[in-house]
Amino acid sequence: MVQAIEWKSDHVKIIDQTELPIRTVYSEITTIEQIFEAIQKLRVRGAPLIGISAAYGLYLGMRDVQAASPDDFFVELDKKIDYLSKSRPTAVNLFWALQRIKDQLQAVTDQSTNDLKERLLRLAIELHEDDFQRCKQMGEHGLEVIPDGARILTHCNTGALATGGIGTALGVIYTAHQAGKNITVYADETRPLLQGARLTMWELMQAGIPSKLLCDNMAASLMQQKMVDLVILGSDRIAANGAVANKIGTYGVAILAKHHNVPFYVAAPLSTVDLDAASGDDIPIENRASHEVSKVFQQCQIAPDDADCWNPAFDVTPPDLVTGIITEKGILYPPYTENIRNAFDK
């Protein structure tokens, strides 16, 4: 399975996802600024992968810092965390990863600044490995909602290209396929940046999973014709009440699923849950450049010159449209406020 990001003794190696599926281009990243740019430009993307990238970026930013004392080290660390926090606003895994590393570093007492730097790298690698395990566990838990013969609709990309492991929603799909379930996946193209067409289809075809690509506006008809047994997709931030922020278009799919009585599952690790966000209203939604809508990949113009476009990258699906949330601790069902909290206590 493809690895979206790898630590290579003194640099980070990524697949530049803006080049897929036409070319498989690997980039070597050696600075925090390059990580920032890679996150912002979606060279690395997907909530868990953004968090992992930021963790490595923090190390790259700190490794050459000359701090006279641990206190100075932490002043610099806060500056780098602030900087990376501005790369993208919605995926809470970014903020979660940076905070987790800071907390773990602060727990280390009586260490030289060099020790702190070494520890920071180890923590970034551990965070990466931790996501690998969470993906595996989500895959195993998710098996129980995938019947043999299931026809599954998904949106955006939630696989190995979006995480440090097999993926969230796509991880469940891989696990079901490997368990011998005879599944078919329908992948929404996911306008405007086409993560479904470019990335999900690329992953599914490499894995040999029967799959069909559709334009986003075809999902309603697909469901009306009873060609979908369940929806499964990922999330960038889940509020404490179970509201799910995910790639723009997810909310529409959720409404369609409700109308057609199709189960709607979200697969996400608990690192995607933001207990500080009481509801979807507290989730910041990223607005991206107009040209992403009017010019496909800045190449093919599909709207009049200078057309002004609305381009929110995410939307919020209210909890009453979500059948269940597949996490590494098991599948959570309503009432979400209570069951999400319990999952953290497990």
Nearer to ligand MRU, 77 or 199 (CB): 199
Tokens of 181: 């379930």
Q: Which of 216, 236, 274, 315 is catalytic?
A: 236
Residues of this chain, 171-200, that bind ligand MRU according to CB under 6 A: 195
Q: Enumerate the β-bridge partners of residue 238.
A: 244, 273
Residue showing the smallest CB distance to ligand MRU in the complex: 234
**Could you say which of 158, 294, 323, 327 contacts ligand MRU (CB under 6 A)?**
158
Residues of this chain, 80-119, that bind ligand MRU according to CB under 6 A: 91
How far is it, in rounded angstroms, from Cα 334 to Cα 345? 17
Q: Report the DSSP pairing between strands 273-274 and 295-296.
A: unpaired
Q: Using the rule CB under 6 A, give the single segment among 44-52, 78-86, 95-103, 302-310 that binds ligand MRU.
A: 44-52
Q: Does 156 bind ligand MRU (CB under 6 A)?
A: yes
286 exposure class (CB count in 10 Å sphere: 0-12, 13-18, 19+): middle
Q: Count residues near ligand MRU (CB under 6 A).
A: 19
**Could you say which of 43, 45, 117, 198 contacts ligand MRU (CB under 6 A)?**
45
Q: Does 246 bind ligand MRU (CB under 6 A)?
A: yes
Nearer to ligand MRU, 70 or 159 (CB): 159
Strand, coil or helix: 287: strand
Residues with Cβ within 8 Å of 96's Cβ and at least 6 positions away in sequence, in order, are 51, 271, 272, 274
**Could you say which of 35, 48, 137, 280 contacts ligand MRU (CB under 6 A)?**
48
Concatenate the DSSP letters of all residues of 72-124 into one string: HHHHHHHHHHHHHHTS-SS-HHHHHHHHHHHHHHHT--S--HHHHHHHHHHHH
Question: ∠248-148-218 over CA atoms, to 5°?
Answer: 30
Interface with ligand MRU (CB under 6 A): 42, 45-48, 91, 156, 158, 162-163, 168, 195, 233-236, 246-247, 313
> Which active-site residues does the annotation give?
236
